[in-house]
Structure formats: structure tokens, C-alpha cells
Amino acid sequence: MGCMGAVVALLLLIVDDTTAQQTPSDLDNPWTQNNNDWNRGPNQWDPTHSVIITEATYFVVASRMVRPGQVYKVSALILRTPQPLVVRASIQRDGVELSQAKTQKIREGNRETLSLRIPSTSVPGAYKLRVEGTYDDESLGGSAFVNESIITFSQRSMTIFVQTDKTMRFRAIPISTELRAFDNAVDVYMRDPFNRIMRRWLSRQSNFGSVSLSYQLSDQPVFGEWVIQVIAQGQVEETRFLVEEYYQTRFEVNVTMPAFFFNTDQYIHGKIMANYTSGAPVHGNLTLRATIRPLIAQSSYRGVGDRRIVEKYFNFDEQFPFWYPKKIYNQWERPTIPHLKFFNGVYEFRYPIAELEQFVPSLEGMEVKVTATVGDRFLDEIVEGYSMARIFNSSIKVAFLGGSPQVFKPSMPFYVYLAMSYHDGSPLSRERLRLGAMEVRSEIVTRSGGRRNLDTRGLPMSTQRDGVWEMKVDLRSQLGYDENARSKDLLNDIQSMKISASFLDARGERVGADLLLLSHFSPMNHHIKVSTSTRDAKFTVFINNRKARTGEKVEVAIYGEPGAYVGLAGLDRAFYTMQAQSQLSYDKVIMKMSTFDEDTNGTFVHQWFSHEGNPDEMVYYPSSTYGIDANRTFE
């Protein structure tokens, strides 16, 4: 899932017995140049040529990236040679050789793979890969080819997850590129906001898959952002948490409402709860205030600047008993702020969005902060609580995964994927998706200037994931071409393809998206397709809350593969919905591991955001390389 580096072609030399010539375009190709000044008699280096070989033809492929503690592999293919060759590969850092390997005799048309173990103590520097081939003949002997290429060093050789808890217990989970537990020691440091080491745990073994530790804060800690630093095999992973001063009040005010609203919703709604530390409800009065401001803090946003922060008090339709005195204001008295005079611990509010639209040009892209102020009559205390929600456009959108443009191979079948969501990235309901219809139109443009439209297709929604449409494109079949040379020439003449998708839902709302596909250039019309699959581990977690009659304990049963490490963490629902990134989720793990290869094109990914505070949902699909030709593909 992110453990292989970018594959690059280091050398591809096809020469005659005469001196190979180089075109001007070859001078711009970094993979065909040799910056070393070789002195080998008649083959002395000439800056106008990138080739010093007059006999052998070979093809060497290796990774662009090298990581500490990993096995670096080099594939050498000898295409043409008068004598068997012995290929030797070595990796150097700042001119010092770190690892080397060589093959046995390689005959013409054979391929060998060299494995080089990178030391786990490797540090950043200038890394080079040196590949040389020599004749294995006592009479002839000598060097057939020598080449050096610059490779990139990455300190990241594993993925480290840090999971924290509000009681200052945490665990570090290092996972190797083989998706196994890191079987070596890790160092853990606790640093305060001034970057001072407050405690360290050295050489902690992680054979079981994780390192679980705890740290007790002092009664007068340094307030600010603390850091948990994990170092494994030279790789540094940091997780930050905030330490603030907090005083327990007599009672707490909690404002609960959805984190997102649409501009077509009728009401902004939520619930106010005020309880003492004992759990008893608070009896007093309540004031609600809504603060509306733009999400983007600019001088002007949709006609509303930073100075146009609107505050609006909620009016309560409160019924009083007949004996309660009614306040009558005269023309010199100012009415008090609207408030609920008889508040008994819980209040559900609902305010029309249409009234808020009177104060701003548009609610789209606005943030509404609802502040509840509760006053206790007996203790004579006033405590505030607040909650914030964002208002988004309720319209829907459709998008092609991977963006536009993309590269495709006309002679090979390929897949395109579409995803539906609201404009804020949240998923649509299953019923709305099921009642909608997706149509796709395609247009082909040839190099000769011709155009051809394909038949309109109706796509069914994926059975594996709601909101995703998968379309297979086989131009040979759709255009009615046969398996002959003429058909290959026609397919190879295709320059680009445009796919237009249109979705119509049951409410009559129509949205569309376009995808531009550029043809992969291959003079011989030769292409290769490589696919991978992921095998999911099968684990089942069963919770039995009736095991203990007291209700204070629950039984957790885990069924899975023998010898596997399973870590459990419990969290309050209120904290879980905040998604503070302190806990692990499936999507968080996949997202972090998918960014392992820094400079390579990855898979298609789409992410849906949850309005209920659940973890984000993500889907992954295979993608083609972004290379427009073979040279760019290997780079």
C-alpha cells in the first residue's frame, strides 16, 4: 500500500558497432546522460554523447528512492552481447560505498535481479547508484558499461501511528513496509512547549506491535503545546497535544447541535443542557445568542467584511402562569435582552434560518456560533457554553476520480470512476442516489483531425459503495474494430477522448462533469498493465454488555488470526464526534500509509465528510500512470 518507490529506468542503450548518435531531445533527458568523466582509451567521455558503449545493449531498472533498512533491488536485462556479462551494482553515499551485489554470468536475453541491503543506520546525503557490467572472459575481459545515477534518500522506512488518551496514556504503533510490526527498539521523548525533554523512554521494544506508555503531568505544568516524539530507525514522528488551565465550575453548560447545516434547511436546531457536577439539573434562566461570521477571514467575503459580524438573540415563546407579573415598558425604558426566565436544565431550541438571512447577503459559507448563558439563582453564578456550525450550499456535485486530464491507452480496456456528494463533501442519502440516473457521453478526437461520438450510456451505481459509478471503456469493442493491423492503426491514431457525465436526481436537479483523456504514445503500440490487490485481515469484535449484572463492566471478545496484536481504546461519544485526530480510524490509517511514496502517482481516492461526527469515509480505486509515454512513465 505505499511501500514501493517510484520505478525508474536508469539505462536503455541500443547501439551499433559504430558510435551512437544523440538527438537534441536526448540532451534534455536526464536518464541518458552521464556526468562522469570516464577515460577508457578510444571511448573517452565526450560531452556531446551520453553513450560510451559500442557493443552491449542492456536495460537496467531500479527504484528512484532508497530507504534505510530496506532491500533495494536492481533488475538488469542483457538484450545483446557477444560474451556473457557480470553485472555489479553498488549504492554510494557521499562517495562511500554502503552496499553492493553482483550477479553470475548473464547471457544474451536473460534477466537478473540484484538485492542490496541498505544499512538501518543510513543518514541523509548524496546517494548514487552505480551499475557496471564486465565481460567474464579471461582472454577478452574489460568493462562493457558503467553508469551512475542519482537516487533520492528518504528517512521514512515505516509508518508510525501515535494514539493518545485524555488521561495521558498513549501508544506508538510502528508498521514496516511489509505491514508487519517493527521488530526493533524505539525511543520516545516527552517535550514541553519550550522543546525541553521532560521524560524519555529509550530502547523500548515493539515486538508485539506497539509501545504503550503513560506520563503523569505535574500539578503545575507548563501550559501550551506538548510533543510526543517517537524515533525508530532514524525516522522521527511527532504528535502534539494541548495542555490548558481548567477550573471545575459549579455546573457546566453543554450546547449540542449538528456541525453542518444546508442553506435550504428550515431551522437551526439543537439542545441546551446544564447540570451540576453531581448530575442534577440547573434551575435558573437562559439566554441564547447567535453569532454569524464568514468562514474566510478576508476584507470582503460575499459583501460581508470582518466588521460585519452579526449577533442575534433568540426570542423565547414562554408561557407564564396567570399570577406572574407582566413587565410593561414605557417609552423611556429599554427592553431587556430576551431570555428564558424558567429554565430547568434542558431546553431544545429551533430558530428559522430565514430570519438569519435577513442580516447577511447569503448564509452559504457562513459559520453560526450559538452561545448559551445560564444563570443560577441560588448560587448567583453565570456560566456560558457554545457550539459552532457551518452552513453550506445544498446543491450536489459529481466528479471524476483523479481529476482531469488523465492518460489512457486506446488499445487497452480501462476504467473511469465517478463520485457524488454535496458541495461540502458529505454523502447523499441512499434513497436519493438510487432514484437518480447517471448518463455518460464520449467523444473521440484523432490525430488526423477526425471526431466521432460514441453512444450515450446509462451507468448503474456500484453495488459495493453508494455514490460511486464505475465505467469500463473498451474502444476496440465500442468502435467495432477487429483484431487486425488496420484496427491497430486506427486505435493508435486516437489522440484524445472526452467523457461527459450527467446526473439527474428525483428532485429534478441536474449536475455534470467532464474528463479529458490523452492518449499514451507508443510507436509500436505496445502497452503493459499491472494490477494489485489487497487481502483484508478478518477480525470480529463482539461486545457483551450483559456479562456483568452490575452494568459497570462489559466483555469484549475478539476473533481473528492467531498471534496478531489487537489494541483496544474506549472513548466517550461526545469526544469521539469531535474527531480530534487523537484516535485511530480505518481511513486515517489508510490515508497516512497512502502518502508513503512522496513523489509517485497513487491510486484514485475520494473522501466523504460526516455531518454526525463519524470518521471520514474514503474509497480507493486503481489508477493509470500519469506518464504520456514510456520515458515519462519510468521517470
Please report which confidence band the pLDDT of residue 503 belongs to, taking 50, 70 and 90 as the band edges: very high
Q: Are residues 370 and 269 in the same domain?
A: yes
Provide the pLDDT for residue 4: 37
Domain termination residue (choose one: 357, 372, 392): 392
Neighbouring-strand partners of residue 111: 77
Is it the case that residue 22 has pLDDT exceeding 50?
Answer: no
Same domain, 415 and 388: no
Q: Which CA distances in Å does 66 have to 7, 117, 142, 180, 634?
A: 11, 10, 30, 19, 16
Q: Which one, of 411, 293, 298, 449, lies nearest residue 363 by Cα?
A: 293
pLDDT digits (tens, 9 = 90+) for 511-534: 899 989 888 766 666 666 666 666
d(CA 580, CA 587): 14
8 A C-beta contact, residue 363 and residue 263: yes
Residue 247 backbone zone (phi > 0: left; psi -120 to 50: alpha; other: beta): beta
441 and 506 co-located in one domain: yes
Q: Decide if 68 is inside a domain.
A: yes
Q: Residue 279 pLDDT more than 90?
A: no
CA distance 330 to 313: 22
* Residue 171: inside a domain: no
Share of the chain above pLDDT 70, in %: 79
Average pLDDT in the 456-479 region? 86
Q: Of the candidates 616, 618, 619, which has an alpha carbon nearest to the alpha carbon of residue 577?
A: 616
Tell me whether residue 329 is in a domain: yes
Q: What is the dihedral of CA 31, 32, 37, 43, to 10 degrees?
A: 150
Domain stops at, among 153, 185, 214: 153
386 and 421, same structural domain?
Answer: no
Whether residues 433 and 508 share a domain: the answer is yes
Q: Which residues make beta-bridge pairs with 551?
A: none
Shared-domain flag, residues 135 and 29: yes
The verdict on 466 and 424 lying in the same domain is: yes
Kindly indicate the confidence band of residue 579, based on its pLDDT and cuts at 50, 70 and 90: low
Does residue 605 lie within any of the structural domains?
yes
* Neighbouring-strand partners of residue 294: 366
Residue that wins the pLDDT comparison between 318 and 135? 135
The enclosing domain of 138 has a CATH number of 2.60.40.2550
Residue 92 cell numbers, joined: 554510494
- Bridge partners, 278 (sequence order): none
603-611 own/partner pairs: CB under 8 Å, 24+ apart: 604/401, 604/402, 604/417, 605/401, 606/399, 606/401, 606/417, 606/419, 606/421, 606/468, 607/425, 608/421, 608/425, 608/426, 608/427, 608/467, 609/424, 609/425, 609/426, 610/426, 611/258, 611/259, 611/260, 611/426
Residue 342 in grid coordinates: 424558567
Note whether residue 146 is domain-resident: yes
Q: Is the per-residue pLDDT at 606 higher than 90?
A: no
Between 273 and 603, residue with greater pLDDT: 273
Amino acid in position 214: S
Residue 297 confidence (pLDDT) above 50: yes
Q: Tally the domains of the chain.
A: 4
CATH number reported for the structural domain that contains residue 438 in this entry: 2.60.40.10
Tell me if 240 is assigned to some domain.
no
> What is the mean predicted confidence (pLDDT) over 250-268?
86
The span from the first CA to the last CA of the chain, in angstroms, equals 20
What residue has cell string 552521464? 34
User: Residue 326's pLDDT is what?
Assistant: 66
CA 554 from chain centre, in angstroms, equals 35
Domain that holds residue 51: 7-153
If you average pLDDT over each of 199-203, 582-586, 590-594, which comes out highest? Answer: 199-203
**DSSP class of 354:** H
- Residue with more model confidence, 77 or 411: 77
Higher pLDDT, 117 or 46: 117
What's the rounded mean pLDDT across residues 549-559?
81
Q: Are residues 22 and 138 in the same domain?
A: yes
Which of residues 129, 153, 177 is at a domain's end? 153
Confidence of residue 630 (pLDDT cuts 50, 70, 90): low
**Is the full-model pTM beyond 0.85?**
no
Question: CA-CA distances (angstroms) from residue 56 to 133, 167, 172?
Answer: 9, 66, 51
148 and 98, same structural domain?
yes
- H or E element: which one contains 63? strand 57-63
The cell numbers describing 238, all together, are 511527532
Q: Tell whether 317 and 441 lie within a shared domain.
A: no
C-alpha 245/C-alpha 219 separation (Å) is 10
Across 555-573, average pLDDT: 79
Proportion of the chain above pLDDT 90, given as a percent:
12
- The domain that holds 339 is classified in CATH as 2.60.40.1940
Give the model's confidence band at 580: pLDDT under 50 very low, under 70 low, under 90 confident, else very high: low
240 has a pLDDT exceeding 60: yes
- Residue 310 near residue 358, CB atoms below 8 Å: no
pLDDT digits (tens, 9 = 90+) for 318-357: 666 666 666 665 555 555 788 888 888 899 988 888 887 7
537 residue type, one letter = A
Nearest of 278, 355, 256, 265 to residue 310 by alpha carbon: 355
Out of 255-269, 303-317, 408-422, least confident range = 303-317
What is the arithmetic mean of pLDDT over 395-408? 86
Check whether 285 has a pLDDT greater than 80: yes
| Pairing label, strands 143-153, 65-66 | parallel
Question: Who wins on pLDDT, 484 or 423?
Answer: 423
Q: What is the pLDDT of residue 584?
A: 77
pLDDT attached to residue 455: 86
Does any domain span residue 106? yes
CA–CA gap between residue 626 and residue 354 (Å, rounded): 48
The pLDDT value given to residue 626: 67
Q: How confident is the model at residue 273 (pLDDT cuts 50, 70, 90)?
A: very high
At residue 50, the pLDDT reads: 41
Q: Kindly report, residue by residue over 172-225, the tens digit of the pLDDT.
A: 988 887 778 888 889 999 999 999 999 999 998 877 778 889 999 888 899 999
My answer on whether 269 and 322 are in the same domain is: yes
Backbone angles phi, psi at 490, to 5 degrees: -65, -40
User: What pLDDT does residue 229 have?
Assistant: 94
For position 43, what pLDDT does the model report?
Answer: 38
By CB atoms closer than 10 A (0-12, 13-18, 19+), residue 288 is buried
Check residue 56 and give its pLDDT. Answer: 54
Does residue 64 lie in a domain region?
A: yes
Strand order in the sheet with 65-66: 65-66, 143-153, 127-135, 85-93, 96-102
So what's the pLDDT on residue 197? Answer: 94
Query: How far is Cα 439 from Cα 501, in angstroms, rounded to an integer?
Result: 6
Contacting residues for 369 by C-beta, under 8 A, at least 6 apart: 290, 291, 292, 293, 386, 387, 388
- Please tell me which residue, 197 or 591, carries the higher pLDDT value: 197
pLDDT at 533: 60
Amino acid at 383: V
Helix H segments across 423-572? 430-435, 475-478, 485-492
The answer to whether residues 122 and 25 belong to one domain is yes
